[in-house]
Amino acid sequence: EIPGFPPTREVEFFIDLHPGTRLISESPYRMAPAELTELKGQIEDLLGKGFIRPSVSPWGAPVLLVKKKDGKSRLCVDYRKLNKATI
């Protein structure tokens, strides 16, 4: 099991973007009430384990739930717009 965030690194990492790229902050996708309940549960679980933390970034990407073969849902982040802007 992963214990949480990795230790602080001596090297800072940057994502290089195409010149002139504007801030990317997309609205959340619509979800059915049952999906929203599942999403909130997964986020609370990940926060509780220390795998994620609340974001203070002005950049944002929507999330969605994808059904796995076993019927459970996988939390996915749609970074397609950011990926298009990445060098």
Domain map (residue ranges) of the chain: 33-85
Q: What are phi and psi of 73, to 5 degrees?
A: -110, 140
pLDDT given at position 58: 94
Give 8-57 pLDDT, tens digit per residue.
Answer: 777 888 889 999 999 999 999 999 999 999 999 999 999 998 888 898 89
This prediction has a pTM of 0.77
- Per CATH, the architecture of 33-85 is what? Roll (3.10)
Helix (H/G/I), strand (E/B), else coil: 75? strand
Task: Collect all residues with Cβ–Cβ distance below 8 Å to 42 and sequence separation of at least 6.
Answer: 65, 73, 75
Written as six digits, the tokens of 29 are 């996708």
